[in-house]
């Protein structure tokens, strides 16, 4: 008897949720939809750097000792005199 009351109570709790879901409206297919190319989303300076990388980067062989971001950062660090 107790499990029957629990199931009935659960049904009464879920009933408003099911009714609201049934009455919910889906957005229109064309509403506020816009196709954007990824180039439009990236800042111009970053895009220019990606499309025109420095020449020295193409001289580095994949997997070599020089193929390291850490090494590249150390190579181009600017040190300010104290």
**Under 8 Å between Cβ of 39 and 47:** yes
CA 55 to chain centre: 30
Could you tell me the pTM of the whole model?
0.36
Alpha carbons 81 and 51: distance in angstroms, whole number: 34
Which residue positions in the chain have pLDDT lower than 70?
1-5, 27, 30-31, 72, 74-82
Alpha carbons 64 and 66: distance in angstroms, whole number: 5
Phi–psi pair at 31, nearest 5 degrees: -70, 115
Instruction: Tell me what pLDDT residue 77 has.
Output: 59
Alpha-helical runs (H) found in the chain = 2-23, 44-51, 55-58, 69-75
């Amino acid at each position: 008897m107790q499990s029957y009351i629990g199931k009935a109570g659960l049904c009464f709790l879920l009933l408003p949720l099911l009714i609201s879901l049934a009455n919910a409206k889906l957005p229109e297919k064309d509403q506020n939809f816009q196709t954007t190319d990824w180039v439009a989303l990236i800042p111009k300076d970053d895009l220019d750097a990606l499309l025109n990388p420095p020449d020295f980067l193409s001289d580095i062989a994949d997997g070599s000792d020089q193929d390291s971001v850490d090494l590249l950062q150390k190579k181009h660090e600017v040190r300010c005199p104290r």
